Amino acid sequence: MAIVKADLEACQGYANCVVGADDVFDIDDDGIVMLLKATVPDQDRARVEEAARSCPVSALAVADE
C-alpha cells in the first residue's frame, strides 16, 4: 500500500489529479483537493502517482507506507 498526501495550502484547484484518478482525488466547493482515499493498493499506485505528478503546483505526493 502507498500513502497519498496533499498540501492543501499549495493546491490551486486545477483538478488535473481528478482527471487522472477520480476515485482518489476530488475538488471541494472551495476549489481545494480532497483525498477520497488516504492509501492506495499497489496495483493502483502507478496511476495515482501519475495523477499526482500532473499537479502543476506539486501539491500531491504518493509515498511508501
Total length of the chain: 65
Which triple of cell numbers denotes residue 44? Answer: 493502483
Instruction: Give the pLDDT mean for 31-42.
Output: 97
Q: What is the pLDDT of residue 63?
A: 96
CATH of the domain spanning 2-64 = 3.30.70.20
- Give the CA distances from residue 42 to residues 13, 20, 59, in Å, rounded to whole numbers and listed in that order: 26, 16, 21
pLDDT for 65 equals: 84
Under the banding of pLDDT at 50, 70 and 90, the label for residue 61 is very high
**Domain spans of the chain, in order of start:** 2-64
For all residues of the chain together, what is the average pLDDT? 97
Query: pTM above the 0.85 mark?
Result: yes
What integer pLDDT is reported at residue 36 of this predicted model? 98
